[in-house]
Chains A and B, each alone.
Chain A
Amino acid sequence: MKKKVLSVLLVGAMTASMFAGCGNDGDKAAGADGANGGDAAPVTEESGDAADAEAAGNPVTLKTVSMFGGTDPNAEVYAAINDEFMAENSHVTIEDNSQTSDEEWKAAVNADFSVGNEPDVIQFFTDATADTIIATDKLVSVEEIRAEYPDYAKDTLDSALAAAANTDGVQRAVPTTGYWEGLFCNKDLFDQYDLELPTDWASLEKAITTFKENDIIPIACSLNNVPHYWIEFLMLYAAGPEEYTTVPETAPEGWIKGLEMFKTLRDMGAFPADTDTVDDAYVGQLFRDKKAAMQLDGSWYAGNIEDTENTVVIPFPGVPDQKAEAGSLVGGISSGFYITRKAWEDPDKRDAAVKFVMAHTSQEGVQRYWETTGAVSQAAVAVTPVDGATPFAQSIAEYTSNASVIVAPTDSRIGDAYKTLVAQIVKVSTGATTAEDAINEALGVMQ
């Protein structure tokens, strides 16, 4: 009898707890609906915070995603602007999921868009990388937003907005800063071995030989991890801007000639002995520790340079019989803030999303991004110059302002096929695969 009573009590307790659980969920659901601007009645709790939120507008939770996470030099400013934005807009809560961009992250973003789990605002690529999410038609154009909010992206330069247009020509993203790629040099090492900074292939060859003889790694590069910058400059200088910017069906002569230089450089001992196994972070450390003399990298790497007195950025020296003009530069604007249709069609989120993007892309916001990366990137707004620039920053200003030609990198044109090309570079450098086969394999993927 006791057992039966106990059983009945236990069953009763379980049932009650289930109903209690359901009851709570119901409350939460109602709150969430309210937050999303649904038909549910607004939350009527009389707490001070809630009353403030009511005054400011319906509580809004803005889901945001950006590449300004992890070790990205912009991460700090991004987080600070988010905090200030939430302080100024007390009804808005930002649920941010930022991280540095890599292939897994890009695949996750694509997957989120395909299953309807896209964020409200995303800072993402504007080139061919974005084609997959553009195809979902879930991103709102700048023109459509400006019809409702004429001041949207008012500080952004027209040229920057145009540069951030997607591959279909539609402007959806509002950029903050652009990028450049160039040759970082430890000038003190060049001085120590009585070498001039390289300005052409002959002087580069001389520098490589001298450093090699003195047990200094001439070029810090991980061929197995990030040979991207070398691919770009070798192909640009060997092919010339015209051929370099084509999207060919079979390997062009200039591209082949450019990639064949990997073997020449490897045979000269230009790369670290363990270039096939180490990663980009490691070779970057070799350069900063003065164990390597040169490193080809992008503006995002500038924030890592501590010795701003003895490090300089110079134009790519060139290749034998080059077709590109000296001072040709790989760079552009490749990312920006997008508002998704999900947020745009939600009356509460629309306003918050627009304000959020403007907080990051206004003159004030961009100035902070620009300064935090050493005032070395290409700003999308008219920035105020920084006083007392270091020799490092001066060299970058000189490099970028004297660029004869500025072209976007190959991956912005051939998309995923570029990864196949990157995967073949180690084999191209050892001679296990020919440059022509590697390029044709990559172009084959695209077709």
Chain B
Amino acid sequence: MLYKKKWPLFLFLVPGLLFLLVFLYIPFVENIKNSFYEMASVVKMPGQEFEFIGIDNYKRLFTDPDIRVAMANTLKMMVLTVIFEVGIAFVLAVMVSQIKKLQQLFRTVYFFPVVISATAIGLLFKLFYNYNGGMLNQILEALGKEPVLWLGPELAFAMICVPTLWSYIGFYFVILLTGLSDIPDDIYEAASIDGCSKFKQVFYITLPSLKPVFFTSVTLAVTGALKVFDLPWVLAPNGAPQGLTHFLGTYMYQTAYGLNNYDYASTQALLIVVLGVVVSKGVGMLTADKDEKVAAKAKRARAKGVA
């Protein structure tokens, strides 16, 4: 045993716990309480009392068309993050892992967008998408074509997804590349001697060996999609155009600080937390099942081999 006495450990753990208690758990409980009251201001002024309104805000969640849009967009974003962020990151990681020269350069280049702030990326893409003199429309005009309303109702969601997804590919790329480097080279060498093509090696060696890392990435991507806020807010504030690009985060922010409806925003915040817990739990269960199945299969295979 490294430490015989345990109490000093608690001494070091308690400040962190207190910090979380004061700045996370107590506000969270307060947030739940607020969702049952009609809040006239963000904080209770001296002598002011908030009116108890029961579950009115929760009822409103089911009838509010804007929250439906926000929820649908968030769920779409979850699917897109798995397909495009983790998917593209995987393809890039596999390709980069196959080369020896310039690997470090590609690692840096693909990871670079992650270190740029979402606000800066948002402003950058805003300049690309501008209808009057934006980069994309300048190119179109140079080609003799009509300018396009890139953030119009038809295209806005896709145009917001592009930088949101692109900016995080590098993050999963690095995670997956680290996972790939842990796969022993002799497995690939043995497969090559047996005549397995590079393409098949990806499916029969890389993917199965990378499953735990892959599932971790999926969990991070799906829960990360719930927190999407800054980039869409910079690119298309207030769910522009016409509230069609709201995500749960942006709609909650607008409700709280745009409309000063703090109690309904508290209800939305609770919805985001509940959704986050459910989704991460769901993905976690899926991951655990798969791992157990793989482990059981391997055990059976080994038992047969011994026999």
Which among A136, A273, A427, A432 is the interface contact of B45 at CB below 8 angstroms?
A: A136
Q: A276 — which chain B residues lie within 8 A by C-beta?
A: 151-153, 240-242
Which bracket fits the contact residues of B? 20 to 34
Q: Let me know if B238 and A416 touch, CB within 8 A.
A: no
B window 252-306: CB within 8 A of A: 254, 257-261
Instruction: Assess A104 versus B45: contact at CB under 8 Å? Given A272-B132, A273-B149.
Output: no
Contact mask for chain A residues 406-445; partner B; CB cutoff 8 A; 1 contact, 0 none: 0000000000100110010011001010000000000001
A window 105-157: CB within 8 A of B: 107, 110-111, 113-115, 132, 135-136
Q: Let me know if A132 and B45 touch, CB within 8 A.
A: yes
With A and B bound together, what is the CA distance between A276 and B237 in angstroms?
A: 10
With A and B bound together, what is the CA distance between A416 and B42 in angstroms?
A: 12
Q: B48 — which chain A residues lie within 8 A by C-beta?
A: 135
Instruction: Give the A-B contact count at a CB cut-off of 8 A.
Output: 80
Q: Let me know if A114 and B46 touch, CB within 8 A.
A: yes
Q: A225 — which chain B residues lie within 8 A by C-beta?
A: 237-238
CB closest residue in chain B, given A285: B132
Q: Let me know if B238 and A224 touch, CB within 8 A.
A: yes
Q: Is B78 an interface residue (CB 8 A)?
A: no
With A and B bound together, what is the CA distance between A430 and B244 in angstroms?
A: 13
Q: Is B231 an interface residue (CB 8 A)?
A: no
Q: A107 — which chain B residues lie within 8 A by C-beta?
A: 42, 257, 260
CB closest residue in chain B, given A137: B46
With A and B bound together, what is the CA distance between A272 and B48 in angstroms?
A: 44
Q: Is B236 an interface residue (CB 8 A)?
A: yes
Q: Let me know if B149 and A103 touch, CB within 8 A.
A: no
Q: Is B44 an interface residue (CB 8 A)?
A: yes
Q: Let me know if A286 and B132 touch, CB within 8 A.
A: yes
Which among A114, A272, A277, A426 is the interface contact of B43 at CB below 8 angstroms?
A: A114
Q: Let me know if B260 and A419 touch, CB within 8 A.
A: yes
| A293 CB, nearest partner CB in chain B, Å | 14
Q: Is A213 an interface residue (CB 8 A)?
A: no
Q: B132 — which chain A residues lie within 8 A by C-beta?
A: 272, 274, 286, 291
Q: B42 — which chain A residues lie within 8 A by C-beta?
A: 107, 110-111
Query: Can you pick out 10 interface pairs between chain A and chain B where the beta carbons lie within 8 Å of each other?
Result: A107-B260, A111-B43, A114-B41, A114-B44, A225-B238, A274-B131, A274-B152, A277-B151, A426-B240, A426-B243
Known: A110-B43, A277-B240. 12 other contacts (CB 8 A): A103-B257, A103-B258, A111-B43, A115-B43, A224-B237, A224-B240, A272-B131, A274-B130, A277-B236, A416-B260, A426-B240, A427-B243
What is the interface of chain B, defined by CB distance below 8 A to chain A? Answer: 40-48, 130-132, 149, 151-153, 156, 236-238, 240-243, 254, 257-261
